[in-house]
Chain A
Amino acid sequence: MNIIDTIFKFNGGIKADTKKSVSTVRPIKKIKMPKQLILPLRQHVGKVAKLKVNIGEKVLKGQLLAEADGNVSAAIHAPTSGTVASLEKQLIPHPSGLPDYCVTLIPDGKDTWVEKKPINWKKIDRKETIKKISESGIVGLGGATFPTHLKLNNNNEVKTLIVNAAECEPYITCDDMLMREKSAELIEGIRLALHLLGAQNAIIGIEDNKPEAIEKLALLIKNDANISIKIVPTIYPSGDAKRLIYLITGIQIAKGKRSTEYGMQMFNVATIIALYKFIHCGEPSITRIITITGKVRTPNNYEVLFGTPLSDLIIDAGGKASQNGSFIMGGPMMGYKLPSVNVPVTKAMNCVIDAEPEMIENNNPVLPCIRCAKCAEACPVNLQPQELFWFSQSNQFEKAENYNLFDCIECGCCSYVCPSNIPLVQYYRYAKSEIISDRYAKEEADIARERNDFRLERLQREKEERAKKIAERKANTSSDEKSKVIDEKRKAITEALERVKQEGVSEKND
C-alpha cells in the first residue's frame, strides 16, 4: 500500500462549507420501480444516439435502445424490461429548459435481463475489449459525459491512471458513498482500466474529507504495489482534471494539450465501476448513484435507473416535488437550475439539490466591479477574471479569447469571492457560447462560399463547352444544310407553340 502525502498546491481555489455529511449517514438506497422511464437520446457529449427499436416493441433489461452514431457518441440501453411507449420531445435536464427527443419505456415489473455477456478481458486483445466498450453506453459519470471508449483508445502511451475520487464540490457525496460501499469493485475496475490503457500504475486522488472511503480502499490495496492513494486537501476545485493532476504529480498540462500527451489518463470512480460492471457482469450503463440533498427531510444517495423521474426521488427523500421548487443539478458552484422537477435522471446527473430560492436567485445587489482582483487570487487556472468580465460584458469577444477565456473551467470561485456579487461565470458562459456560435456560422459560411465558387466554375465550364460544341457544328455543316436545319427547327417550334396554345385554350375551357 502506498499513501503519498506530498502534494503540489495550485493557486487560488476556495474553502467552502462542504455540507457533505448530511447525505452520508444513510447507505445507498434504491426506490421501487417507477411507472415510466424517460430516456433522452442525448445524454452524452457528441452525436445523438440512433433509435434501434420500434414503438410498441417489448424490450428486455439491458437491451440496446439506441446505438452510438459514429465514434463520438454513446449507446442507450433499456434500464428495465418493458414496452417502448413513445419517442417524443420531452423536458430534459438542460440549462435551456428546452425539450429534446426522449424514449418512454413502460416497465413490466419483471425486470428480466437480456442475456448477459461478460468479457474475458484477460484472454482477448485489449483493442477488441475497447471496441466492445464502445457499445456499452458508458460515459464519464463525473458529469462531463464524454464517451469512455474514446478515452481508452488513444495514440499516446499512458503510464499512469489517475482515479478522480476528489469530489470537491460541496453537497455531492455520490462518489464518496460509492467508494465506501463498492470499494472492492472499484479496485478490480482500476486493475481492469490499467490493463485497457496499458498503464503501469494507478493513483487514486481523494480529498481528505473522506476518511472512511480512504480507509476501505487502503485496506484493499495493501498488497498491491501498482495502486496508490494520494490524499489531497479539501480545496475546491481539486476535482478538476488538470488541478488534480497538478496536485498529485506537480505536472501542469499546457494549454491545448491533453493529459495523455504527458502519459496520464483520468477516470472518475463511478466510470470505473461502470466499466467493471460491463466487463465482469456484462451489464451496460443503465444505473448511477445520485445524491439528493438540500431541503429534503432525509438527504440520501440513491442507486437509480436512468430515466427515473426526479420527482420520485425527491418525494422519497421527503421533499416537495412542486413546480415552484428550485432544484439545482450538480453542485452549488457549477450546477444549474433545472427547468422543472419533472425531468428524468440522466447519465450526467450526479446530484440534485432541493434548494432555497436564495441559493439560485442572486438577491444581493450586483454592484460595479471595483477591480479588487479577489477573483484573480481565487482563480485556480491563473486567469484574470476581472479582465474577462470586462471584455465579456462589453461583447469584446476577441479580446476575451486573447485573455484565454476558453481555459476557464467555470468553477465559480471568482463569483463566490466577488464582493460586488457579480455573476462572473454567467458572463463567461455567455461569451463562450457567442464565440462558439460565431465559429460555427463562419464554418457554414466557408462551406457556402466553396459551394458557390464551385457552382460558378461549373456554369462557366458548361458555357465554354457549349460554345465549343456550337463552333464545331458550325464548322462541320455547310451553309445550305445549315439553313435547312434551321428551317426544320423553326417549323418544329411553331408547331409546338400552336399545340401549346390549343392545349391552353382547352384547359381554360375545362
Chain B
Amino acid sequence: MNPQPDIRGRLVRINGPIVEAEGLGAAGMLDVVEVGALRLIGEVIRLLGDVATIQVYENTGGLKPGDPVFATGRPLSVELGPGLLGSIFDGIQRPLPAIAKHSGLYINRGEKTEPLDRSRAWPFQPVAALGSRLGPGRVFGTVRETPSIEHRLMIPPDWGEVEVLELAPAGDCTLAAVLGRVRDEAGSERELRMSGLWPVRRPRPAAGRLAMTRPLLTGLRVIDALFPLARGGTAAIPGGFGTGKTMTQHALAKWSEADIIVYIGCGERGNEMTEVLREFPEIIDPRTGRSLMERTVLIANTSNMPVAAREVSIYTGITIAEYYRDMGYHVAVMADSTSRWAEALRELSGRLEEMPADEGFPAYLPTRLAEFYERAGAVRTLGGAEASISVIGAVSPPGGDFSEPVTQHTSRFIRCFWALDRDLANARHYPAIGWLGSYSEYLPDIAPWWAERAPEWKPCRDALMDVLQQEVKLQRIAKLVGPDALPDSQRLILFTADLIKNAFLQQNSFDDIDMYCSPEKLTGMMQILELFHRRARELLQRGGTLAAVRELPCLEAVLRMKHAIPNPEAAKLDALRRRVDADFDELDRRVA
C-alpha cells in the first residue's frame, strides 16, 4: 500500500474539496492519490493532459499550489476480512475508535489507520482439502467472527480456479498470517490470506440472479402487512424532516430478518450514530439470542465530516455488504440518507463546473442511483449459495415535496415505496408510513410464501387495505357534512379504520413488547381486525347499530393487544379472536 515514489505530481489549484495537480498524467482514472505533506486521501476524478482533477476526502485548508501529490496506483478499495462486524468506520473505511485513540475528540486530518485490527488473532479452521481445485468465491477456511456469524474465507472472485497446495492447520492466526498457497490457472503460485482489498466502485460478481420469493420480515406491522419488502429487494423511505426516517431505519436495522446489517449514516447527525453505537450492543436479537451489534457494520460519515467522503461512503457500505453476501448471508443495507449523498454529488459537480440538470444536480444522478440500487438483489453466489442484499434508502426531499429530483429518480429504481406522511407524524402516529402514497411491487412475488405458511395473510391484508382506502374517500365527505350525517355502514368504515390505525398500524418502538412484531402475532392481529369488521358489517345489515358495536366489551382488549400480548404468547390472540366472535354472537342474538 506504499505510494509509488515514481509518480509524483504538484498541486496547481485548490477549490474546496476539489484540487488540480500537474504531473499525474500516468495516474489512472479513479486511482487513489495522497495530497500534500499531510498525505490527505484523494481520488482522481478527471484527467486532462498532464493535469489530474482530484477529489479530496478531507478538509483541504492550508494546502498550497506546489504541494506534492503522490500516486498510489490503485483504485479506492476497502479491506475485507474478519473484524468488520461490530465496527464503526468513516466513509473511507477508517475505524473511528482507532482514530479516537490517536487524535482525541476531534478527527484530525491525514489520519492513517488500518481498517482492520492487525493484532487480533482469529481462530482459523481450514475447510478445503489439499490438492483440491477451488473456483473463485469457494470457501477454503472459516473463522468464527462473532458467536452467531461464521466468517467464510473465499478464493477472491477475480482469481479464477486454483489448486490448493498448502493450507495452515486449525489455530489462531492474525490478518498478517499466510494461510495457504495455491497455484492458479496460469501456473503461478499465490498466497491465501485472511483479508483482501476490493475496489468500492466495482460490484463483486455473483453466479446469477435469483427470483425474489421471500419477504424480508421487518417486525414493523405496517410494512409486513401492507407494503412488504422482498428479500433482495429495494425500498425507499422518503419523508420531510421530523417524519421519522431515521427512527424507521433504526427499527428496520434492529428487527429485520437478515443475517448481517450494514448501516450507512451518510450526511446525517452524529448523535444518531451514537445512539446506534450505544443501543445496539444492549439489544438482543430475537432470532439468535445474541447482541445486535454482532451482526452490524456501521459506516458513519456525519453531516459535518468532509463531503467527498460522504459520496464514497455508500459504496464502501455496499461493498462490505456484497462481501458477506458472497459468503452466503442475507444482508440488509440501510442508507440514511441517499439525499445527502446526492447533495454531495451536486456539490462536487458544481466545483467541477459541470453543466447542471434539475435543481443543480448533475445529469448523471439517475445513472449513479441506478448503479447503486442494482447492487441489491437475490443471487446465486460464486460459491453456490443462495444469498441476498436488500437495500433500504432514506430520502430527504426538501420541504417534504416528493416531486424533487432525488425522490423522483429513486422511485424509478426501487420497487417498494414507503412514503412518510407529515400529518401522521404530527399526530405522533409512528411509523408514519402513509397508506395512500406507499406501494410495494413485491406483493405478487411473495404472496405464495405467505399462502404456504399463513393463508389468511393475503385476504386479511386486502380487507384491511380496502377499509383504509374507503376511509380516505369517506373522510373527505365527513369533513364537509360531519361524520354523524353519514349512514351507520359508512361510519363503521371510519370506526374500523381508526381501530386499524390505533390498534395495529401504530407501533411504539420504545415499548418492550410492541417494538417488534413476530409473523405469528402479525397474522393473529390481522385476523382479529378482519373478523371484527366483517362481523360488524353483517350486524349492521341485520339491523344492529354502530352504537352497540362501539360498546362491545372486547374492544378495549383489541385496542390494547399490541402492548398486552408478547410475541411468544401470540397464541393468546386465538382466544381474543374467539372472544370477539362470542361478543358478536351475543349482539346478533339481541338483534334477532
Do A and B pair up? The answer is no
